[in-house]
Amino acid sequence: SSNVMNISEHLSCPLGFGHYNAVDICILETVVIVLLTFLIIAGNLTVIFVFHCAPLLHHYTTSYFIQTMAYADLFVGVSCLVPTLSLLHYSTGVHESLTCQVFGYIISVLKSVSMACLACISVDRYLAITKPLSYNQLVTPCRLRICIILIWIYSCLIFLPAFFGWGKPGYHGDIFEWCATSWLTNAYFTGFIVCLLYAPAAFVICFTYFHIFKICRQHTKEINDRRARFPSHEVDAAGETGHSPDRRYAMVLFRITSVFYVLWLPYIIYFLLESSRVLENPALSFLTTWLAISNSFCNCVIYSLSNSVFRLGLRRLSETICSSC
């Protein structure tokens, strides 16, 4: 059909070896992007509504960062409407270079916010376990709000040079031809992003979670020793009210962080290789890009499956919607 031909001409399909194969690949890419866009928007809207409907979730200080990540991921889904609408309704009146730059900049800023929030969450849990007595004085709602504002400002500033032409902020893919052929990565800018964003965030997360689980393991060992020496209910009750809730919640957040880096690691590796002119493959570019973007939906799934309070809030939200219908 003419619509399929327009899609195939608008996309530079990486995996097509013939005309019909190229059309099939373009349709497959369109389906992937449309599906991810829908899942990201629906999933994060659900998370935001559940947080507003479940007051118990606000007892966790990390709820500030979780909600910030949910809003950032929601905006990722809304931003993905740009390539989605571009594929479904081809328009020659759009300035492709400007659209590509703005889309790449926004996606990079939003994912930077998510990465910084994960690092802040790990620091928050580290303080909760290492300094339980002074935690409430150290981590206050006012300081959390200031921290979130600084995260947004920092994320906007760190990618600003790319928007003015220094380099590519990290968005790859073949949705816009200008993005794939004319907007090239820059090794210096890539190093700049790695040194000021990727590496510090990864170091903070590894450092904090290593010490969190080390402390929890030591605490569990002490409890087992006490049970062996004094097998009484008093010892069990005293031990189980210690770090057990913090440890379980830390495990939930650790799963979210682990999945984030598993999905983003291929993207970061390809980003580094392409910037160094070692590897340039449009198929890998598309796959790693949208694999990384799919993390915006995975956060919702992990949190809903791992957190009992969140599941309770989701059930109440579902019951409210069903009763109103």
pLDDT given for residue 237 in this prediction: 46
Residue 5, pLDDT score? 44
Cβ–Cβ under 8 Å, residues 70 and 46? no
**Which pLDDT score, from 0 to 100, does residue 277 have?**
79
217 and 255 Cβ atoms separated by less than 8 Å = no
Q: Where are the domains of the chain?
A: 27-226+243-324
Amino acid (1-letter code) at residue 162? A
The two structure tokens encoding residue 311: 């599941």
Cα angle 204-206-211, degrees, rounded to a multiple of 5? 100
Check if the beta carbon of residue 39 is closer than 8 Å to that of residue 293.
no
* Chain-centroid distance, C-alpha 243: 27
Q: How far apart are CA 296 and CA 69, in angstroms?
A: 9
Q: Give the fold, CATH level 3, of 27-226+243-324.
A: Rhopdopsin 7-helix transmembrane proteins (1.20.1070)
Residue 184, φ and ψ in degrees, nearest 5: -95, 150
- What's residue 239's pLDDT? 46
Contact by Cβ (8 Å): 248, 242 = no
Residue pair 61/325 in contact by the 8 Å Cβ criterion: no
pLDDT score of 246 = 60
Mean pLDDT by 10 residues, the chain (325 residues): 45 44 70 86 86 66 84 87 66 65 85 89 86 86 92 92 78 64 80 88 88 80 72 49 58 78 85 81 80 81 70 75 74
Per-residue pLDDT, 172: 55
Inter-residue long-range contacts of 98-102, CB under 8 Å, 24+ positions, other chains counted = 99/176, 100/176, 100/178, 100/179, 100/183, 101/163, 101/183, 102/163
CA distances in angstroms from 124 to 127, 246, 259, listed in the order given: 5, 11, 19
How would you class 304 by CB atoms within 10 Å of its CB: exposed for 0-12, middle for 13-18, buried for 19 or more? middle
- Listed residue (197, 189, 36) closest to 115, CA to CA: 197
Residue 164, token pair as written in the block: 């003015």
The contacts of residue 186 (CB under 8 Å, 6+ apart) are: 166, 167, 168, 275
- With a CB cutoff of 8 Å and minimum separation 6, the contacts of 88 are 30, 34
DSSP per-residue codes, 248-282:
HHHHHHHHHHHHHHHHHHHHHHHHHHHHTTS---H
